[in-house]
């Protein structure tokens, strides 16, 4: 069986990826199992940061590596918080701190003008020096609510209104969120691309 290392400590991402890659005969291991140190996310784009994380894991483990980078883009804030989503209110900021800052910065923006989207860039590098990574992008459109709703999810989920389901993403069942979300879309796109590559003897 072929093995890839996942450059994340998020157990939800690990479980999903394992389930999707098992039918292709690919085993997923975590970078924690190899004691990989965290990479500094110094890129200016989601895809750069995802590549930095995947390259770091591939280099340390000597294995193909998958990583993702994601965040929230708000039109009225010219795309902020973007790649800085997890540290919008500072390096030690909690999800609540970030949500509070977002609401504060949008206090003068009326509901119809609060368009936003989650972005997720997921990459697979065959090795640390792979010049042709597989790259997949997922985008989830919505609006920023005037006040938090729901208790599920994480990050900005209580503030992200999902028009197709008339609720906040924090009010969705986890399986529904995975089906709709930027991360679910990117993951399925990556797996489809890997499937093609496996058929073409890549990773064999």
Catalytic residues: 69
Query: Helix, strand or coil for residue 167?
Result: strand
Site for ligand IMP contains 133 (CB under 6 A): no
Asked if residues 89 and 161 have their Cβ atoms less than 8 Å apart, the reply is no
Among residues 36, 54, 66, 71, which is the contact residue for ligand IMP, using CB under 6 A? Answer: 71
Burial class (CB in 10 A: 0-12, 13-18, 19+), 78: exposed
Q: Which stretch binds ligand IMP (CB under 6 A): 27-35, 67-75, 142-150, 193-201?
A: 67-75
Among residues 56, 85, 136, 185, which is the contact residue for ligand IMP, using CB under 6 A? Answer: 85
Smallest gap from residue 63 Cβ to ligand IMP (A):
21
Smallest gap from residue 166 Cβ to ligand IMP (A):
18
Q: CA 2 to CA 162: how far, in whole Å?
A: 38
Q: CA 175 to CA 184: how far, in whole Å?
A: 10
Give 61 or 144: the residue with its C-beta nearer to ligand IMP. 144
Burial class (CB in 10 A: 0-12, 13-18, 19+), 173: exposed
In the chain, DSSP finds a helix count (H) and a strand count (E) of 5, 7
- DSSP state letters, 166-180: TEEGGGS-HHHHHHH
Smallest gap from residue 138 Cβ to ligand IMP (A):
10
ω into residue 81 within 30 of 0, thus cis? yes
Among residues 2, 30, 86, 105, which is the contact residue for ligand IMP, using CB under 6 A? Answer: 86
Site for ligand IMP contains 31 (CB under 6 A): no
The DSSP 8-state label assigned to residue 87 in this structure reads G
Give 154 or 196: the residue with its C-beta nearer to ligand IMP. 154
Build a one-symbol-per-residue string for 134-173: x at contacts with ligand IMP by CB under 6 A, - elsewhere: -------------------xxxxx----------------
Taking the C-alpha atoms of 195, 4, 53 and 48 in order, what is their torsion angle to the nearest 10 degrees? Answer: -20
How many residues lie near ligand IMP (CB under 6 A)?
16
Provide the binding-site residues for ligand IMP, judged by CB under 6 A.
Answer: 68-72, 85-86, 98, 118, 153-157, 181, 183
């Amino acid at each position: 069986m072929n093995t890839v290392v996942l450059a994340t400590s998020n157990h939800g991402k690990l479980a999903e990826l394992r389930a999707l890659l098992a039918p292709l005969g690919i085993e997923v291991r975590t970078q924690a199992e190899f004691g990989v140190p965290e990479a500094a996310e110094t890129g200016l784009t989601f895809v750069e940061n995802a590549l930095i994380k995947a390259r770091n894991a591939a280099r340390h483990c000597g294995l193909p590596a998958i990583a993702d980078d994601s965040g929230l883009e708000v039109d009225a804030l010219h795309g902020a918080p973007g790649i800085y989503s997890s540290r919008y209110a500072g390096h030690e900021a909690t999800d609540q701190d970030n949500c509070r800052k977002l609401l504060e910065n949008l206090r003068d923006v009326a509901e119809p003008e609060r368009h936003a989207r989650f972005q997720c860039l997921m990459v697979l590098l065959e090795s640390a020096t792979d010049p042709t990574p597989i790259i997949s992008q997922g985008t989830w459109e919505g609006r920023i609510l005037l006040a938090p709703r729901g208790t599920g999810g994480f990050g900005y989920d209580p503030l992200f209104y999902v028009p197709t389901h008339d609720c906040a993403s924090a009010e969705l069942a986890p399986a529904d969120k995975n089906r709709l979300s930027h991360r679910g879309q990117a993951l399925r796109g990556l797996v489809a691309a890997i499937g093609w590559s496996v058929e073409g003897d890549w990773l064999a």
